[in-house]
Structure formats: structure tokens, C-alpha cells
Amino acid sequence: MSAMNIRDLMHASPVMPVIVLDRVADAVPLARALVAGGIRVLEVTLRTAAALESVRAIRAEVPQALVGVGTVTTPAELDAAQAAGAVFGVSPGASPALLRAIAASGLPFLPGVMTPSDVIAAREAGFEALKLFPAAQAGGIGMLKALAGPFPGLVFCPTGGIDAGSAPDFLALPNVLCVGGSWLAPKALVEAGDWAGIERIARAAAALRPAA
């Protein structure tokens, strides 16, 4: 897994589930359900106290999963993600200090951008695969089409406000390799332990195909 670069990871699943876990006990069955449905790339967000231990559990018990850490906002959080065994990272935005730390870490990473200036700063730091966030509020499909002109070599994983209905339209864009979405691991199904229901959602998402 360490040999995979960020584009490899983006190609591995058309949808990257944005996972929020309140209980470590849910991490492994959730990961198994998503992988069984054909979704291998999992983003566990640093939004709860259970996140890093959940990543450790998935790494230990679900070897087919490519588990990364999202909502990375500081170099310290980046260090913690790597220590937990994350094979990639994702941020909602990026400061110069965070971009430097990511580049130095060697961890495959999707820095978050929202504006053309953000894109230029990330590209100057050496990143050509980016997360557009929050995608819907940033202009969605229209923004991605607009960015394709001045930034023809860059690819995106738009995240934020995307659901099963809109994902195919985003994936039809040539500069979109995958999308991020929380609809694959809805809180109600996770709390209920409805792993079969989550596997069905994952199977439908895995059937989507990006244009690129």
C-alpha cells in the first residue's frame, strides 16, 4: 500500500466515504461492509475522539481497506494520522505550514481548496490532486468546469453537499477522479449496526464510473 500515490488511491474507488465514528467498536464492521460493497478507500475524519483508534483497528483487522484520515488541519494532526497507520490524508483547507508538513511527510494527500488562489498555492507546493471543499458551496460542477481551463493538469475529489443523486454528474467531469460523500455511512445505519444496508449503499456507489 505504501507504493500507492494519491492518484492511485483516487482511482481505487469512485466514491470516498467521509466517515464520522463515535464508537471504535463500529469501525471494523463498517469498514468490512464498505469493502464488501466494493468501496476500499475510506476516509475516517478527525471529528471525534474515536477517529485515530478506529483507523488503527481498521488497519489491523480489515487489510483490504485503504484507510486514511480526513479533517487534518495542523502538522500535529498529520503526525498523529501517520502514527495511527493512515495510508493517505485529506484536509478541508491548507495553510503554507500544513502544505510544507504534508510535502515533507511523503504521505499521499488531498489538500483542500475552494478558490483559484487556493489552487495556485497548492500547486506551487507541489500538489496536483486536490479536494474541492465544500464543493456545493464553492460552486460545484460550474466551479470545476471553470477550474479546468486555467489548471488543465489538475484533478479533484469534490466533497461537501454531494449525494448519490448528484455524484454521477460530478464524476462525468474529466478533471474529477472521485467524489467524497457521507451518504455511504449514514449515522442512523451505523448506530443501528445495519451493515447489510451500508453494504448495499456501497455497492451502488462502487458501480459509478468517473470519466477520467
Catalytic annotation, pick one of 131, 145, 187, 191: 131
Q: How many CB atoms lie within 10 A of CB 149?
A: 7
Q: How far apart are CA 203 and CA 35, in angstroms?
A: 9
Is 90 within 8 Å of 68 (Cβ atoms)?
yes
Those residues with Cβ within 8 angstroms of residue 177's Cβ, 6 or more apart along the chain or in another chain: 7, 10, 11, 129, 155, 156, 157, 210, 212
Catalytic annotation, pick one of 43, 61, 77, 187: 43
Q: How far apart are CA 41 and CA 66, in angstroms?
A: 5
Q: How many CB atoms lie within 10 A of CB 43?
A: 26
- 145 in active site: no
Which residues are marked as active site?
Answer: 43, 131
